[in-house]
């Protein structure tokens, strides 16, 4: 039995490869990774998204807050409000807080304690500049609200608030 030549098959394969190559990075860059189901917020700078990855209680009366900042553009993005901290490698956590229904805010724990209270990012010591499509995950330890508080509003630096976020268990 003879195999028939199909000259159009090569063209179809080439078109398919081109289509798949063209839709990979840019479409995926717009979707924050992790458990973005906790919330995604726009920042004060267009093209930079903040995605809440985790909020849970820790055994020592603190909350662990983890989030990522994602540049969804093909351009460098600078965040001027975060650049007012002087030489500060913890600038990405500056202003992180949660607020309960009564309006009480719980901020980053005191840096004087021996345990680290926020991620240090030496790349951001002088300014908050994000390369095209750069993703930076970071964290901070916050004062914990009372145990009966189950949901809080989360305030990430230079981002819109994320409302009614459930607090996870340790």
**54 in any annotated domain:** yes
Residue 29: predicted pLDDT:
38
Residue 68 lies in a domain: yes
Distance, in Å, from the CA atom of 10 to the CA atom of 126, rounded to the nearest integer, reads: 52
pLDDT of residue 111: 66
Q: Is residue 120 part of a domain?
A: yes
Domain range for 31 is 8-166
Average pLDDT value for the chain: 82
Q: Is residue 91 part of a domain?
A: yes
User: Which pLDDT score, from 0 to 100, does residue 110 have?
Assistant: 81
2 within a domain of the structure (yes/no):
no
Q: Considering the entire predicted model, what is its pTM?
A: 0.76
The CATH number of whichever domain residue 88 belongs to comes to 2.60.40
Confidence class for position 160, pLDDT limits 50, 70, 90:
very high
Q: Is residue 133 part of a domain?
A: yes
pLDDT tens digits for range 70-99? 999 999 999 999 888 788 899 999 899 999
Residue 3 falls within a domain, yes or no?
A: no
Task: Tell me what pLDDT residue 116 has.
Answer: 78
Q: Do 25 and 139 touch, CB atoms closer than 8 A? A: no
The beta-strand segments (E) located in 47-144 are 48-58, 62-71, 77-78, 97-99, 105-107, 129-130, 135-143
24: in domain: yes
Number of domains in the chain: 1
Q: What's the rounded Cα separation, in Å, for the pair 116 and 140? A: 9
Chain segment 13-30, per-residue pLDDT in tens: 443 343 333 333 333 334
pLDDT tens digits, 95-118? 999 999 999 999 999 866 666 799
């Amino acid at each position: 039995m003879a195999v028939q030549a199909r000259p159009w098959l090569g063209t179809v394969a080439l078109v398919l490869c081109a289509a798949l190559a063209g839709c990979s990075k840019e479409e995926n860059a717009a979707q924050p990774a992790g458990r973005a189901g906790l919330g995604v917020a726009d920042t004060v700078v267009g093209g930079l998204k903040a995605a809440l990855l985790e909020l849970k209680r820790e055994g020592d009366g603190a909350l662990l807050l983890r989030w990522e900042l994602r540049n969804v553009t093909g351009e460098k993005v600078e965040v001027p409000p975060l650049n007012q901290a002087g030489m500060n490698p913890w600038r990405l956590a500056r202003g992180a807080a949660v607020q309960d229904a009564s309006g009480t805010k719980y901020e980053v724990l005191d840096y004087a304690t021996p345990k680290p209270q926020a991620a240090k990012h030496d790349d951001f010591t002088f300014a908050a500049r994000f390369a095209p499509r750069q993703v930076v995950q970071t964290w901070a330890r916050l004062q914990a609200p009372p145990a009966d508080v189950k949901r809080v509003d989360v305030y990430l630096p230079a981002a819109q608030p994320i409302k009614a976020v459930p607090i996870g268990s340790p």
